[in-house]
Amino acid sequence: MGMAHWPRRLVLGGGLKDMAKITLSKLAHSYLPDPKGEADYALKEMDHVWEDGQAYALLGPSGCGKTTLLNIISGLLTPSDGRVLFDDIDVTQAPTAARNIAQVFQFPVVYDTMSVRKNLAFPLRNRGMDRASINTRVEAIAAIIEMTDVLERKAQALSADAKQKISLGRALVREDVNAILFDEPLTVIDPAMKWALRTQLKSIHAALGHTMIYVTHDQTEALTFADQVVVMYEGRVVQIGTPQALFETPAHTFVGYFIGSPGMNVLDARVEGTFAYVGDEKIALGADYGRPGGKVQIGIRPEFVSLHGKTGMAAKIHRVEDVGRHKIVRAELCGQAVNMIAPEGAEIAADAARIQFKPDAISVFVEDWRLEPGGGKQG
Amino acid sequence: MEKTLNQKAWFLVLPVFLLVAFSAVIPLMTVVNYSLQDTFGNNKFFWAGLEWYTELLHSERLWSAFGRQIIFSAIILAIEVPLGVFVALNMPKKGVWASLCLVLMALPLLIPWNVVGTIWQIFGRVDIGLLGHTLAALGIDYNYTRDPLAAWITIITMDVWHWTSLVALLSYAGLQSIPEAYYQAAKIDQASRWSVFWFIELPKMQGVLMIAILIRFMDSFMIYTEPFVVTGGGPGNATTFLSIDLVKMALGQFDLGPAAAFSLMYFLVVMLVSWVFYTVMTNLDKKAGY
């Protein structure tokens, strides 16, 4: 499986590529005809550039505006404010067909009366491609989605999995698209197939070099697929970064919670210079954060909380969950919940235990946004 | 232990038995009975065997009524189905206008059949009818009581006016059930409006369209009231369809035997066509994998 072993020539089919950098400029969208305040906007004002040829994941909970953003890029939705540019050409008002974009939807869409082959050929036929080139291209894509042997069958009679693979195939069949957008495309696919398809998508990206934007609410899916992950929360992009950056330096408490399993521990605290105070406990920080005001919190990943017999802060352990390769310890520190990850073999005392935070792994948040040492605020 | 043998349970199915007997079997058997006998009145019957059937099968009167009936049904299907689909495609999908459209479309369906007939009978009259008078004033020779063509056009227009709504409403329901993602995918695939209709809308409407065609076929094949009110089957026999002919035979001439044989053959034709439709529809469903 995978397509790294397919000759590049076959996969490309020998056409010209015409990809674009996609710029969102002061973009915002409201579904209401007359939006009043910020709360009326499904998508808050944003500026963002999707670089040509990158694989992005758009990650966020349901209802955070991911699909809205995707539909604005593909032109299925016209934004209420701002502009969309493909390589500096304003396409905000351009219809979907003029944008030459491929998009895969959450639920499979196949043309019932057509065979699998005709389904795959449909976007090419609409572009007036000649029959021979269409055939070559369709065969190549059928090989990638592993449907060569069912090419002549009616699409209607196939399973949901297979139908979604046809949808994927239709998105990949045009070589000259400006971008390929995926809107939670693997929701209906069973888990084993999911892994295989995701890996395939990644190698297709490597081989074809299209700009790809992959919408998902599944962090594993996002982190395995993308070079850059864009995290959205309540209609706003809260962080764009590599999977590593999202893990180590979340820009917003939401990124902390959302990435990682379990998510980051975020504790209400008071920060003075190089120390934080949670309840009566004094916790050393990796750097000097000054004296921030407002709602101050510190965040620490469960991976960087360690359990000690004697030294450290007194914590109350509520529950230990053995998830196989490690244990998740649910505890409480000064009335606030703290999760930690302990190695599989660790002995965990039933009653009071002592825990320690790794100083340079602690993040400081003011009003939910990350505070950089020295007092500079990011975001 | 010995099992108690008790046949009283049969009484439990008795109500259903009686119901079906009185509502279907007995009336039908009465007709079968009439169709095999002859009478000269006074409630005296003579065995006639299949005589009426052979006579009717060679009757020019029946065959011409049957021909007119087929042509009528074919014409109204050919007009109402495409027109209904076209109307449904152009109806607004949501909002106040959609509701208004639905109410307006439903109106003709709520009018009793003989009222529809009366409306068009008056509407088409040359002396006082808006349509007939206007056409006459424009110098067009239109008189449905004299000219067979005018009579046909009037009756077909009336049927189209009365029943296109039904096809439109059914098609509209079919269209509304198509998920938005199909239209979005078609836009992404750069499909033309025609492709969207041909590859998405029409296949998705297939089921409801089959039902619409079946209902319209059966209804039009059994049409009686409206042409009876408007033309009374005339001029001459020009608009005498099967039902009108049947009533003439049974009640006008009181030919009980031939009329009964006629009814049974009529019934068999309608049932046969419905069975063909049913088979085609279930096969379609099977192919769709429901």
Q: What is the pLDDT of residues B116-166, one digit of tens each?
A: 888 988 898 888 888 888 888 888 888 888 888 888 998 999 999 999 999
Check B181 against A170: CB less than 8 A apart: no
Query: What is the identity of the amino acid at A204?
Result: I
Pairing of strands A89-90, A43-50: unpaired
Q: Which residue of A has its CA nearest to B194?
A: A126
Residue that is written with structure tokens 């590859």 in the block: B199
Instruction: Using the predicted structure, report yes or no on whether residue B86 has a pLDDT greater than 90.
Output: yes
Residue B58 has pLDDT above 80, yes or no: yes
- B177, B180, B187, B188: best to mutate for the A interface, most A CBs within 10 A: B188
Q: Quick check: A180 and A172 in contact, CB under 8 A?
A: yes
**Which residues, including other chains, have CB under 8 Å from residue A338's CB and lie 6 or more apart?**
A265, A267, A305, A315, A331, A332, A355
Neighbour-count burial for B189-201, b at 16+ CB within 10 Å, e otherwise = bbbeeebbeebbb
In a domain, B10, yes or no: no
Q: Please list, residue by residue across B31-49, b when 16 or more beta carbons sit within 10 angstroms of its beta carbon and e when fewer do.
A: beebbbbbeeeeeeeeebe
List of E strands, A160-304: 180-183, 212-216, 228-233, 236-241, 265-268, 270-272, 275-278, 281-284, 296-300
- Ramachandran angles phi, psi of A228, nearest 5°: -125, 130
H or E, element range at A83: strand A81-86
Comparison of pLDDT for A353 and B218, the residue scoring more = B218
CB-based burial label for A103 (10 Å; 0-12, 13-18, 19+): buried
Tens-digit pLDDT profile for residues B12-50: 899 999 999 998 889 888 888 888 888 777 777 778 778
Residue B231 lies in a domain: yes
Is B188 close to A107, i.e. CB distance below 8 A?
no
Q: How many CA atoms lie within 13 A of B66 on its CB side?
A: 15
The interface residues of chain A toward chain B in range 46-75, judged by CB-CB distance below 8 A, are 71, 74-75
Q: How is domain A261-371 classified at the architecture level of CATH?
A: Beta Barrel (2.40)
d(CA A296, CA A267): 9
Give yes or no for A109 touching B (CB within 8 A): yes
CA–CA dist B17, B124 (Å, integer)? 49
Kindly state the tokens that stand for A54.
């990158």
The per-residue DSSP string of A15-63 comes to -------EEEEEEEE-SSSS--SGGG-SEEEEEEEE-TT-EEEEE--TT
CB-nearest partner of A122 from B179, B182, B189: B189
State the smallest CA–CA distance between residue A74 and chain B in angstroms. 8
Question: What ipTM goes with this model?
Answer: 0.77
Q: How far apart are CA A304 and CA B227, in angstroms?
A: 88
Judge whether A366 and A327 are in contact, CB under 8 Å. no
B contact test, residue of A31, A101, A104, A113 with most B CBs within 10 A: A113
Q: Which secondary-structure segment (H or E) carries A222? A: helix A219-225
Interface of B with A (CB under 8 A): 179, 181-182, 184-185, 187-192, 195, 199-200, 203-204, 287-289
- Answer whether B185 sits within 8 Å of A105, measured CB to CB: yes
- Beta-carbon separation of B184 and A103 below 8 A: yes
C-beta neighbour count of B134 within 10 angstroms: 12
Closest Cα in chain A to B195: A126
CB contact under 8 Å between B203 and A113, yes or no, is: yes
If DSSP codes are grouped into helix, strand and coil, which group holds residue A276?
Answer: strand
Residue written as token pair 């302990």: A342
**Up-side HSE of residue B69: CA atoms within 13 Å toward CB?**
24
Task: Identify the domain containing residue B204 by its residue range.
Answer: 57-288
With H, G, I as helix, E, B as strand and everything else as coil, classify residue A294: coil
Cβ of A107 within 8 Å of Cβ of B203? The answer is no
H runs (alpha helix) in A75-159? 96-99, 116-126, 131-144
Q: Do A109 and B289 make contact, defined as CB atoms within 8 angstroms?
A: no
* Mean pLDDT for back-to-back runs of 10 residues, chain A (379 residues): 33 44 88 83 87 89 87 90 86 86 90 91 90 91 87 87 90 87 85 81 83 88 86 89 89 90 89 86 86 88 84 83 86 87 76 81 90 61
pLDDT of B168 > 90? The answer is yes
Do residues A223 and A208 touch, judged by C-beta distance below 8 A?
Answer: no
Start-to-end Cα distance in chain A: 41
Distance from C-alpha of B251 to C-alpha of A17, rounded to nearest angstrom = 80
B259: domain CATH number is 1.10.3720.10
Tell me which CATH code domain A8-31+39-248 carries. Answer: 3.40.50.300
How much is the pLDDT for A6?
30
Q: Do B188 and A101 touch (CB under 8 A)?
A: yes
Q: How far apart are CA A327 and CA A323, in angstroms?
A: 6
Rounded CA separation A370/A78 (Å):
33
| pLDDT at residue number A199 | 82
| Per-residue pLDDT at B69 exceeds 60 | yes
pLDDT for position A2? 36
Residue numbers in A near B289 (CB within 8 A): 156-157
Residues of B in contact with A75 (CB under 8 A): 187
Q: Do A112 and B204 touch (CB under 8 A)?
A: yes
Q: Do A103 and B289 touch (CB under 8 A)?
A: no
Q: Does the predicted model carry a pTM greater than 0.80?
A: no
Q: Average the pLDDT over B224-240 and give the result.
A: 83
Structure tokens at A321: 């969950």
Amino acid at B35: S
Residue in chain B nearest A183 by alpha carbon:
B181
Helices (H), A229-273: 243-248, 253-258
Span B228-248, average pLDDT: 83
Would the CB atoms of A75 and B187 count as touching at under 8 Å?
A: yes
User: In degrees to the nearest 10, what's the CA dihedral of A107, A109, A113, A117?
Assistant: -120
Distance CA B215, CA B274 (A): 9
Q: What's the token pair of residue B59?
A: 């009757």
Q: Report the pLDDT averaged over residues B230-238.
A: 81
**How far is A47 from chain B, CA to nearest CA, in Å?**
24
The residue of chain B with its CA nearest to that of A118 is B199
CA-only gyration radius of chain A, Å = 24
Chain A window 120-149: which residues touch B at a Cβ cutoff of 8 Å?
122-123, 126-127
Domain ranges of chain A: 8-31+39-248, 261-371
Number of domains observed in the structure of chain B: 1
Are A123 and B203 inside 8 Å of each other by CB? Answer: no
* Three-state SS annotation for chain B: CCCCCCHHHHHHHHHHHHHHHHHHHHHHHHHHHHHCEEECCCCCEEECCCHHHHHHHCCHHHHHHHHHHHHHHHHHHHHHHHHHHHHHHHCCCCCHHHHHHHHHHHHHHHCCHHHHHHHHHHHCCCCCCHHHHHHHHCCCCCCCCCCHHHHHHHHHHHHHHHHHHHHHHHHHHHHHCCCHHHHHHHHHCCCCHHHHHHHHHHHHHHHHHHHHHHHHHHHHHCCCHHHHHHCCCCCCCCCCCHHHHHHHHHHHCCCHHHHHHHHHHHHHHHHHHHHHHHHHHHHHHHHHCC
Query: What radius of gyration, in Å, describes the C-alpha atoms of chain B?
Result: 25
Tokens matching residue A226: 């993308």
Whether the CB of A97 is below 8 Å from some CB of chain B: the reply is: yes
Q: Collect all residues of chain B within an 8 Å Cβ-Cβ radius of residue A109.
A: 179, 181-182, 184-185
Q: Which of B177, B183, B184, B190 should we substitute to test contact with A (largest number of A Cβ atoms within 10 Å)? A: B190
Q: What H or E segment, with its residue span, contains residue A316?
A: strand A313-322
Record: contact B181-A114, CB cut-off 8 A = no
All residues of chain A having their beta carbon less than 8 Å from the beta carbon of residue B179 are 107, 109
Sheet of A22-29, strands arranged across? A43-50, A22-29, A81-86, A89-90
pLDDT of A376 reads 47
C-alpha span between A290 and A261 (Å, rounded): 31
Contact A371, A285 (CB under 8 A): no
